Amino acid sequence: MSAGLLILIKFTLLSGIVLMYVALGGCFSEHSGVINIALEGVMVIGGLFGILTVCCIPKNLPSFLIVTISILVAMISGMIYSSLLAFASINLKADQTIGGTALNILATAIALVVVKHYNSTITTNNAQSPKLNYDNSLFIFNVGPFTLNVFIILGIVLLVLSYFVLYKTRFGLHLRACGEHPQAADSVGINVYKMRWAGVLISGALAGIGGMAYIVPSVQEWNFEVGVGGMGFLALAVMIFGKWNPGYIFLGSLFFAVFKSLANIYDSTFLASFHLTKEIYNMMPFIASLVVLMFTSKNSKAPKAEGIPYDKGMR
């Protein structure tokens, strides 16, 4: 039982921190007024280029540098990919949901092309494999009975930082004003377009790390055909459940992560006595999000102007 509990905690932390990164990302984007439904796609891109960096970087570099550089690459590739969304929805005033959906579809495709091409350059057999193999040992360390990874530490730091930035700084006050009432922000001299770009880019960076944090710590091989398995969408649910507030988002991520982790312990604990298949448990977080959102979305605290392209001329 206690071994089961330990495993539950381990997996809850693993996926909880991923959900938190991505939901925080969504939170920045939506507070600026842009619905970032492309989080799923951004995670794929961030994970892809982060892992490629781990694969390609010279192995004789200090491990600290390898970790830092690959995470930075994940962040930057996430930012670049989400800048497509920013350009479409802020400058071209395109529909944000449609733009985001397109980016989600595109991301998995890009990942497959890149991975297959990469595999064909390093080996002649199995050239069409959609899988990447990598070494994740640098990202993991043990504290007592717990296996932790760098993403957990970094995540906690970014959580606190996010709260501070959103609610205690001038930047945060401006950002949230753009998502609530862009006309008001504009009338006091805040550049709405700039703030929205900032929001989307920050969300890209966080979701990029999120993608890497999802893939790297738990396995040494990843099949990019599955993308990130709906974690980006789950993170959107966490963000809504978390009322667009970093503190609640943290709690929400843990809540959903528990459901996600049930699939990892179903055969080793008391859950085994229910004789349910693994698929049922795999569905749990999504069913939970459906139920939870049904009850909570009514009193949602969504930024009022999110999803509406800002047009200076409209007053």
Which residues contact other proteins by CB under 8 A? 168-171, 173-174, 176-177, 180-181, 183-190, 301, 304, 315
34 or 166: whose CB is closer to other proteins? 166
Identify the DSSP state of 59: T
11 or 28: whose CB is closer to other proteins? 28
CB of 175 to other proteins, least distance (A): 11
40 or 306: whose CB is closer to other proteins? 306
Answer whether 165's CB lies under 8 Å from 24's CB: no
CB of 240 to other proteins, least distance (A): 16
The torsion angles phi and psi of 142, rounded to 5 degrees, stand at -105, 135
97 or 191: whose CB is closer to other proteins? 191
List the one residue out of 47, 32, 48, 49 whose CA is nearest residue 85.
Answer: 32
CB of 31 to other proteins, least distance (A): 11
33 or 211: whose CB is closer to other proteins? 33
CB of 178 to other proteins, least distance (A): 9
CB of 202 to other proteins, least distance (A): 15
31 or 260: whose CB is closer to other proteins? 31
| 240-243: long-range pairs with CB below 8 Å, 24+ | 240/293, 240/296, 240/297, 240/300, 240/302, 241/289, 241/292, 241/293, 241/296, 242/23, 242/27, 243/300, 243/301
The torsion angles phi and psi of 76, rounded to 5 degrees, stand at -70, -40
The whole-angstrom separation of Cα 198 and Cα 184 is 18
CB of 137 to other proteins, least distance (A): 39
DSSP 210-221: HHHHHHTTT-SE
